[in-house]
Amino acid sequence: MQPIADRIRVAVLFGGRSGEHDVSLVSARGVMAALDPDRFIVIPFPIGADGHWQHQRITPEPGANPGIDVVFPVLHGTFGEDGTMQGLLELADLPYVGAGVLASALCMDKAATKRMCAASGVPVVESVTGRSIAAPATLASQAEAAFGYPCFVKPANLGSSVGISKARDRAELLAAIDTAFGFDTSIIIERAVVGQELECAVLGNEEIAASVVGEIVPGKEFYDYEDKYLDGKAQTLIPARISDDDHATVRQLAVKTARALGVEGMARVDFFRETATGAIYLNEVNTIPGFTPISMYSKMWEASGLPYRDLLTKLVTLAIERHARRRSLRFSR
């Protein structure tokens, strides 16, 4: 074991003011238990569901956090995965694991993600976006004209399927729009894709590697909150049941997506494969995916030959490298 003075002090942030608070606790437990004790000293930073830092806090000034070498935000959703925490860590001049401010914010917003990806040639499913000032009936008519039913309605900025519904007719669509606007001022309506749900893990800063592709088989009509965390009926398959060609395509698209959005460190990139056409569409990008040893992100790396502990070491190393590189840049002439 390395002497204490040579080990890297990793502040692990978890909990937080997000609908995914509890998921974060489970993810953080996994990370803290598996970070290599020979290299790292773990410092837990629990954040309450009210946003209160429970033991100690990070100060937004360079040099003001001498006890921390690198930060591992294991926070899902709002105020953790959306660029806000990343902004604090930039101000504090601390290295941190995962995507930076812009990429985090872009990936949290499903409408912004799709616009950026479409502009870079990553296929995305047809959609209509709306802000709460738009009349629900107008939005519904736009969606009907663009693709019709069934369709999915989602708040632009949430996760864990919260606020998402499938609509089969106009009455359901209007109700779904109302529900989604209860969670965000911006929503997205998409054509429903009938097919497989695929996931691919990416890892790296300038050079981005893609994992083996995995598949989610929802236990219900779609992969909703109960299915993700409560029912335990959803199945995960690694590798996904797709051809070698599709496998290669998904991995390429995952890297292309990460580059289009400027993702650094890690992300789980989710796709659909439409059965009728064979088309592959980007669905969404999670910059702080579920992170237990049995979460898809880590399992896909495990299946690609990178065990959980080594994955964590790699992520911390990438954080430190990015920080060192950015430090060498000038901010004025």
Residues designated as active site: 20, 160, 229, 268, 270, 284, 286, 290
C-alpha distances out from residue 135 to 94, 152, 227, 310, Å: 44, 18, 32, 51
- Span near ligand ADP by CB under 6 A; candidates 100-108, 160-168, 200-208, 249-257: 160-168
Distance separating alpha carbons of residues 96 and 247, to the nearest angstrom: 31
24, 196, 283, 295: which one binds ligand ADP (CB under 6 A): 283
Nearer to ligand ADP, 69 or 190 (CB): 190
Lookup: tokens for 11: 């502040």
Distance separating alpha carbons of residues 315 and 291, to the nearest angstrom: 12
Nearer to ligand ADP, 162 or 320 (CB): 162
What is the per-residue binding string for ligand ADP in 235-274, x denoting contact by CB under 6 A?
-----------------------------------x----
Question: Does residue 154 bind ligand ADP (CB under 6 A)?
Answer: yes
Residue 53 sits at φ, ψ, to 5 deg, of: -75, 120
* CB hemisphere CA count around 59 (13 angstroms): 8
What is the per-residue binding string for ligand ADP in 19-58, x denoting contact by CB under 6 A?
----------------------------------------
Compute how many residues bind ligand ADP; rule: CB under 6 A: 17
Nearer to ligand ADP, 164 or 177 (CB): 164
- Asked if residues 13 and 72 have their Cβ atoms less than 8 Å apart, the reply is yes
Question: Does residue 65 bind ligand ADP (CB under 6 A)?
Answer: no
H or E element: which one contains 58? none
Question: Does residue 193 bind ligand ADP (CB under 6 A)?
Answer: yes
Q: Residue 327 class from Cβ within 10 Å (0-12 exposed, 13-18 middle, 19+ buried)?
A: exposed
Nearer to ligand ADP, 114 or 322 (CB): 114
- Span near ligand ADP by CB under 6 A; candidates 40-48, 176-184, 215-223, 251-259: 215-223
Question: Does residue 218 bind ligand ADP (CB under 6 A)?
Answer: yes
Where does 169-278 show beta strands of DSSP type E? 186-191, 195-204, 209-210, 214-217, 235-237, 265-274
H or E element: which one contains 44? strand 40-47
- Span near ligand ADP by CB under 6 A; candidates 151-159, 173-181, 238-246, 249-257: 151-159
Nearer to ligand ADP, 274 or 310 (CB): 274
Distance separating alpha carbons of residues 101 and 264, to the nearest angstrom: 10
- Peptide bond just before 62 cis, omega within 30 deg: no
Distance separating alpha carbons of residues 142 and 247, to the nearest angstrom: 34
Residue 54: CB minimum distance to ligand ADP, A: 27
Residue 284: CB minimum distance to ligand ADP, A: 5
Nearer to ligand ADP, 251 or 273 (CB): 273
Query: Taking Cα atoms as reference points, which of 98, 120, 102, 114 lies closest to residue 154?
Result: 114
